[in-house]
């Protein structure tokens, strides 16, 4: 062993000396037309895995480059890309300075991957929104969770500021949440916890595909939210990013201070790329605008949040690569406060010191792992992508005396939702060309998914039995480019089989009452669903000032089978009504680019013959299966007023109605847990000398009041009136040195005293909880 160590040291010394003698690389400065340095410019050696970004002074360096001829590309948002041919000689560091012309990036340059294939926005005949890494970093300065990052996306309801995302819909329907394409939603037993399943520091970007889609299978009636995790660093063997932050209330700081530590390592060699990160966050109590402690009921205050993430990719050979990803997330509440009920419409529910019954509530764990194999030109010109993935998720809800049963010694109970998924995606992409004018590609493959979901109580009682679903779905998607037209059409064949065991509905005396509920013995069985869903869309890109599109798409979903099974009144599964929902989405929209101004808009109508709206009957939730129609519009504007000043605004409005008599007359408004009020978002961003940037945003949530109280003056769940409110947020970043920056975020800058949407429409004393008052987040970030 001693001789072996000496030999290794000698070899490393020789290699190190040789490397120093033969050091080959590039360096230079990137500036604009006014000779000002441009930071964060992507510098890439085409055809290799090597690349870097310019620092705050516009300086870039590429080291340990093999001698030879390369195409060197410089690109940055807001500037025209430049490619320069370079010839690198062994042992020399070549200097190349570049000047970039300012330009508003065309929308078509943005790449999206959630359509199962890399394509630009100008190839997509539907509405898509993307949050870039920079936007996520800015929004995260004022957010308490990843759900709040979605606030500014048109069509998505405002965050609940809780662990639950009930009511945070996309275009009035439930969406399918993904992490790198892995389903996070639990459609077999919707738990309302799928949005808050990842740490924002793990995310590279967020892609939102709007409108019904079957592209990933069950549950995407409103669309898809795909969290794309960070990718390995390029150009350097080791990059490190450390961020430390502190948060608290600006109204009354006592007991509100929390902190977060995030560490990321990434890098690459010639064939291997990696990224690893860990995050720990601990929050204090939250206070409303008057300094009262916000109720801890499913709150985000006093939580301990852990996250671990890793990704490795390796080039097996030219055009063949394999990637492994793993992500762990856990967030649990540890509080000494209990809920003190408010009076709906009069005073809020608040947190008071008391005995917390049961165990901590929160997302116990969320494990995601994926193996991806990519092969370009595997057979002829056909590309292959193979994904093998798994997810293991468990969430715990708060203690409730709803589960009271003195006969068996239960004062109450806590429910959980557990879901385990395993899946395979086999994806082929074959290009084609007809003559000189027609080209495109055919995307086709097979999805296989096994999902086992149940809802049990901590004490072992079963509320909803384990549903074992197997989904087999072949699909095909054709894209055709003809001159300035893009035509997309596809279909997917859903084949679903769900096994339900024999079980008994839970026997309880709800809320300590004298009338028993449940105790029905149900014979299990097999439930099958078969459906074919279609999509077709056309886009025209001939005019830069106006690129219109029209589309039709369908989704397929099972309307919360677990909620139906847990309150079953029939003694056999075969008698339970559980038909699937087919949603039809019709959309017409456009994108425009006027110099430094971007404008986009869309009008949509979504219909389904069967609904998935909940109604409360004697304290029991039932699914109303009447036909539904959801409709609305979205408009978004972004413009650069000057080189240092940007402005943007968006408006989104959604409405929904039920055909209560099933006669074609949509006469009943849908509840607030599905349909949000009007939302507008406006921002003003200032960026001076690339050292300091600030962003002020305003969110307006409108009024929605369609329902009357009952004879006693009380509102039913989901039908409470919603009042308007205004929310102003401020974020700012100042770069202290080349590698160090200081960030400040202020949530609810004007200390607006308001109730979150869920508090208003739910119409419950226990749930009438105010939103946060003014809060700060101060962060220090070091990049090496």
User: Does the pLDDT value for residue 419 go beyond 80?
Assistant: yes
- Give which of 489, 594, 493 is closest to 544, Cα–Cα: 594
Name the range with the highest mean pLDDT among 83-97, 155-169, 443-457.
443-457
Q: Can you identify the CATH homologous superfamily of domain 225-783?
A: TonB-dependent receptor, beta-barrel domain (2.40.170.20)
User: At 21, is the pLDDT very low, low, confident or very high (cuts 50, 70, 90)?
Assistant: very low
Query: What is the pLDDT, as a whole number, of residue 10?
Result: 42
Q: Which of 347-356, 574-583, 676-685 has the lowest mean pLDDT?
A: 574-583
User: Residue 711 has which token pair?
Assistant: 């004879």
**Rounded (10°) CA dihedral 434, 438, 440, 446:** -60
Query: What is the pLDDT, as a whole number, of residue 621?
Result: 46
694 sits in which H/E element:
strand 692-701
Query: What is the pLDDT, as a whole number, of residue 107?
Result: 47
8 Å CB contact between 481 and 436: no
User: Residue 115 has which token pair?
Assistant: 């359509």
User: At 691, is the pLDDT very low, low, confident or very high (cuts 50, 70, 90)?
Assistant: confident
User: Does the pLDDT value for residue 619 go beyond 50?
Assistant: no
The stretch 241-253 carries a mean pLDDT of 95
User: Does the pLDDT value for residue 332 go beyond 80?
Assistant: yes
User: At 34, is the pLDDT very low, low, confident or very high (cuts 50, 70, 90)?
Assistant: low
Q: How far is residue 479's CA from residue 483's CA, in Å, rounded to a whole number? A: 13
Q: How far is residue 744's CA from residue 80's CA, in Å, rounded to a whole number? A: 31
Q: How far is residue 592's CA from residue 106's CA, in Å, rounded to a whole number? A: 9
- Tracing tokens 């006469």 back to the chain, one arrives at 667
Where does 563-691 show beta strands of DSSP type E? Answer: 581-594, 597-608, 613-617, 620-624, 628-642, 645-658, 668-669, 679-688
What would the pLDDT profile of 493-504 be if each residue is shown by its tens digit?
999 999 999 999
Query: What is the pLDDT, as a whole number, of residue 503?
Result: 93
Q: How far is residue 363's CA from residue 620's CA, in Å, rounded to a whole number? A: 25
Residues above pLDDT 70, as percent of the chain: 91
Question: Residue 28 CB: number of other CB atoms within 10 A?
Answer: 19
What would the pLDDT profile of 366-379 be if each residue is shown by its tens digit?
999 999 999 988 88
DSSP-derived 3-state class of residue 17 = helix
Residue 124 neighbours by CB under 8 Å, 6+ apart: 112, 115, 486, 488, 537, 539, 549
CATH 2.60.40.1120 in the chain: give the residue spans: 2-99
The DSSP result for 213-242, as a single string, is --TT-TT-SSEEEEEEEP----SSS-EEEE
Query: What is the pLDDT, as a whole number, of residue 8?
Result: 42
Q: How far is residue 398's CA from residue 149's CA, in Å, rounded to a whole number? A: 25
Better pLDDT: 205 or 580:
205
Residue 533 neighbours by CB under 8 Å, 6+ apart: 214, 491, 492, 494, 554, 555, 556, 582
- Residue 376 burial class via C-beta count within 10 angstroms: exposed 0-12, middle 13-18, buried 19 and up: middle
CATH 2.40.170.20 in the chain: give the residue spans: 225-783
Q: How far is residue 150's CA from residue 386's CA, in Å, rounded to a whole number? A: 29
Query: What is the pLDDT, as a whole number, of residue 109?
Result: 54
User: At 649, is the pLDDT very low, low, confident or very high (cuts 50, 70, 90)?
Assistant: very high
User: Does the pLDDT value for residue 254 go beyond 80?
Assistant: yes
Q: How far is residue 639's CA from residue 105's CA, in Å, rounded to a whole number? A: 11
DSSP-derived 3-state class of residue 626 = coil
User: Does the pLDDT value for residue 14 go beyond 70?
Assistant: no
- Give which of 223, 237, 242, 306 is closest to 274, Cα–Cα: 237
∠573-574-579 over CA atoms, to 5°?
95
Q: Which of 196-200, 301-305, 314-318, 687-691 has the lowest mean pLDDT?
A: 687-691
Mean of all residue pLDDT scores within the chain? 87
Better pLDDT: 604 or 38:
604
Query: What is the pLDDT, as a whole number, of residue 27?
Result: 87
Name the range with the highest mean pLDDT among 387-396, 520-529, 710-719.
387-396
User: Residue 229 has which token pair?
Assistant: 């995790």
Query: What is the pLDDT, as a whole number, of residue 377?
Result: 85
Under DSSP, the state recorded for 578 is -
User: At 435, is the pLDDT very low, low, confident or very high (cuts 50, 70, 90)?
Assistant: confident
Which bin fits 274, alpha (ψ -120 to 50), beta or left (φ > 0)? beta
Query: What is the pLDDT, as a whole number, of residue 104?
Result: 43
User: Residue 94 has which token pair?
Assistant: 């070549």
User: At 632, is the pLDDT very low, low, confident or very high (cuts 50, 70, 90)?
Assistant: very high
Q: How far is residue 752's CA from residue 726's CA, in Å, rounded to a whole number? A: 7
User: At 295, is the pLDDT very low, low, confident or very high (cuts 50, 70, 90)?
Assistant: very high
Query: What is the pLDDT, as a whole number, of residue 724?
Result: 96
Query: What is the pLDDT, as a whole number, of residue 698?
Result: 97
User: Does the pLDDT value for residue 17 go beyond 50?
Assistant: no
- Tracing tokens 């992507």 back to the chain, one arrives at 42
Phi and psi, residue 51, nearest 5°: -175, 170
Query: What is the pLDDT, as a whole number, of residue 12?
Result: 38
Query: What is the pLDDT, as a whole number, of residue 56?
Result: 60
The stretch 212-230 carries a mean pLDDT of 86
CATH fold, domain 2-99, is: Immunoglobulin-like (2.60.40)
Under DSSP, the state recorded for 288 is -
Q: Which of 97-111, 229-243, 338-352, 472-486 has the lowest mean pLDDT?
A: 97-111
What would the pLDDT profile of 260-271 be if each residue is shown by its tens digit?
999 999 988 888
């Amino acid at each position: 062993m001693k001789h072996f160590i000496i030999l290794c040291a000698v070899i490393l010394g020789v290699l190190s000396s040789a490397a120093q003698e033969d050091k080959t690389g590039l360096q230079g400065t990137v500036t604009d037309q006014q000779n000002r340095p441009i930071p964060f410019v992507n510098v890439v050696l085409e055809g290799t895995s090597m690349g870097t970004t310019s620092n705050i002074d516009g300086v870039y360096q590429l080291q340990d480059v093999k001698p030879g001829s390369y195409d060197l590309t410089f690109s940055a948002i807001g500037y025209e890309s430049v490619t320069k041919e370079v010839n690198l000689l062994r042992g020399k560091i070549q200097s190349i300075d570049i000047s970039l012309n300012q330009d508003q990036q065309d929308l078509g340059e943005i790449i999206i991957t959630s359509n199962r294939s890399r394509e630009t926005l100008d190839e997509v005949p539907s509405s898509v929104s993307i949050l870039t890494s920079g936007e996520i970093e800015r929004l995260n300065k004022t957010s308490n969770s990843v759900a709040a990052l979605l606030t500014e996306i048109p069509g998505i309801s405002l965050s609940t500021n809780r662990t639950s995302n009930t009511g945070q819909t996309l275009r009035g329907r439930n969406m399918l949440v993904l992490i790198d394409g892995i389903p996070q939603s639990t459609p077999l037993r919707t738990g309302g916890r799928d949005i808050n399943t990842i740490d924002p520091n793990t995310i590279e970007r967020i892609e939102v595909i709007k409108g019904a889609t079957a592209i990933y299978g069950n549950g995407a009636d409103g669309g898809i939210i795909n969290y794309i995790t960070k990718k390995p660093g390029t150009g350097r063997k080791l990059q490190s990013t450390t961020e430390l932050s502190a948060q608290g209330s600006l109204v009354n700081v006592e007991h509100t201070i929390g902190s977060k530590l995030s560490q990321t390592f990434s890098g690459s060699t010639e064939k291997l790329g990696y990224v690893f990160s860990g995050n720990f966050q601990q929050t204090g109590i939250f206070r409303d605008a008057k300094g009262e402690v916000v109720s801890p009921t499913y709150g985000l205050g006093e939580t301990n949040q852990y996250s671990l993430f890793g990704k490795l990719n390796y080039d097996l050979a030219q055009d063949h690569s394999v990637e492994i990803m793993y992500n762990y997330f856990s967030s649990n509440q540890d509080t000494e406060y209990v809920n003190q009920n408010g009076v709906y419409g009069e005073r809020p529910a608040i947190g008071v010191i008391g005995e917390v019954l049961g165990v901590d509530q929160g997302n116990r764990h969320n494990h995601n792992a994926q193996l991806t194999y990519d092969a370009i030109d595997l057979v002829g010109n056909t590309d292959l992508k193979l994904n093998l993935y798994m997810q293991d998720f468990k969430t715990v809800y708060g203690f409730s005396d709803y589960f009271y049963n003195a006969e068996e010694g239960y004062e109450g109970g806590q429910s959980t939702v557990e879901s385990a998924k395993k899946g395979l995606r086999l994806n082929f992409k074959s290009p084609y060309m007809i003559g000189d004018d027609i080209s495109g590609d055919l995307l086709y493959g097979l999805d296989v998914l096994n999902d086992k979901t149940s809802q049990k109580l901590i004490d072992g009682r079963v509320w909803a039995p384990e549903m074992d679903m197997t989904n087999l779905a072949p699909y095909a998607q054709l894209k055709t480019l003809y001159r300035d037209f893009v035509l997309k059409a596809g279909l997917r064949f859903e084949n679903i089989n769900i096994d339900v065991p024999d079980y008994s509905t839970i026997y309880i005396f709800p809320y300590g009452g004298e009338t028993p509920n449940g105790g029905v013995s149900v014979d299990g069985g097999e439930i099958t669903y078969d459906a074919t869903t279609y999509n077709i869309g056309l886009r025209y890109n001939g005019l830069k000032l106006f690129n219109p599109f029209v589309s039709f798409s369908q989704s397929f979903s099972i309307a919360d089978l677990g909620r139906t099974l847990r309150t079953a009144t029939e003694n056999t599964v075969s008698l339970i009504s559980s038909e699937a929902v087919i949603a039809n989405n019709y959309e017409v929209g456009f994108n425009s680019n006027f110099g430094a101004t971007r404008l986009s808009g869309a009008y949509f109508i979504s219909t389904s013959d069967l609904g998935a709206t909940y109604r409360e009957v004697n304290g029991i939730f039932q699914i109303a299966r009447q036909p539904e129609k959801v409709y609305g519009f979205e408009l978004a504007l972004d413009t650069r007023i000057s080189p240092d000043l940007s402005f943007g605004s968006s408006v989104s409005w959604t409405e929904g109605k039920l055909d209560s008599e099933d006669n074609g007359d949509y006469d009943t408004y849908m509840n607030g847990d599905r349909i949000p009020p009007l939302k507008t978002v406006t921002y003003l961003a200032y960026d001076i000398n690339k050292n300091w940037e600030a962003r002020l945003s305003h969110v307006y949530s409108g009024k929605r009041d369609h329902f009357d109280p009952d004879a006693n003056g009380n509102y039913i769940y989901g039908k409470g009136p919603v009042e308007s409110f205004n929310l102003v947020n401020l974020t700012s970043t100042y770069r202290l040195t080349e590698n160090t920056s200081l960030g400040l975020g202020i949530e609810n800058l004007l200390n607006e005293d308001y109730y979150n949407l869920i508090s208003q429409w739910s119409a419950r004393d226990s749930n009438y909880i105010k939103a946060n008052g003014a809060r700060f987040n101060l962060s220090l970030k070091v990049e090496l």
